[in-house]
Amino acid sequence: MRRDKDVAFGGDIRRAVFEAALGKNAETEAGAIYRYFRGELVKLYPRITIPNAICFSPDRKCAYFADTAKAIIWQQDLNGKDGWPKGSPKEFLNFENTDINPDGAEKHWGAFFVDRTPKQVVIDLLSADAE
């Protein structure tokens, strides 16, 4: 069984919907991130324990997502014509061995912001040039 986690609407060039789902009890690597476009749901990233922080660069050339359990945010280049992932995701921010667990993220004004959990404190500026 799975449960829905996050949804990001219209972030890529085609305005597709990206959905994150995880195991009912957050089982290790039981989650995934999907892309829904024109009636088709495609699993993009399997084996994610707690998928989170789906967001997009303002120019829609890349997407970001996290596995909160691993404390890593990934960056994924997107095809400028159809919005599909281009190549493999790259590690963007790694919070292993810190008290930061990426649970929410936004990309605005050339800066990348990450919400710290479980404390749910104020959003921190982490990178002035996230692209």
Q: Per-domain residue ranges for the chain?
A: 2-127
Average pLDDT over every residue of 25-42: 88
* Residue 103 annotated as catalytic: yes
Q: Which CATH number fits domain 2-127: 3.90.1570.10, 2.120.10.30, 3.30.2130.10, 2.40.30.30?
A: 2.120.10.30
Q: Give CA angle at 44 (43, 46), nearest 5°.
A: 75
Query: pLDDT (tens digit, 9 = 90+) per residue, 69-87?
Result: 898 889 999 998 888 999 9
Q: How confident is the model at residue 19 (pLDDT cuts 50, 70, 90)?
A: confident
- Choosing from 67, 82, 103, 129, the catalytic residue is 103
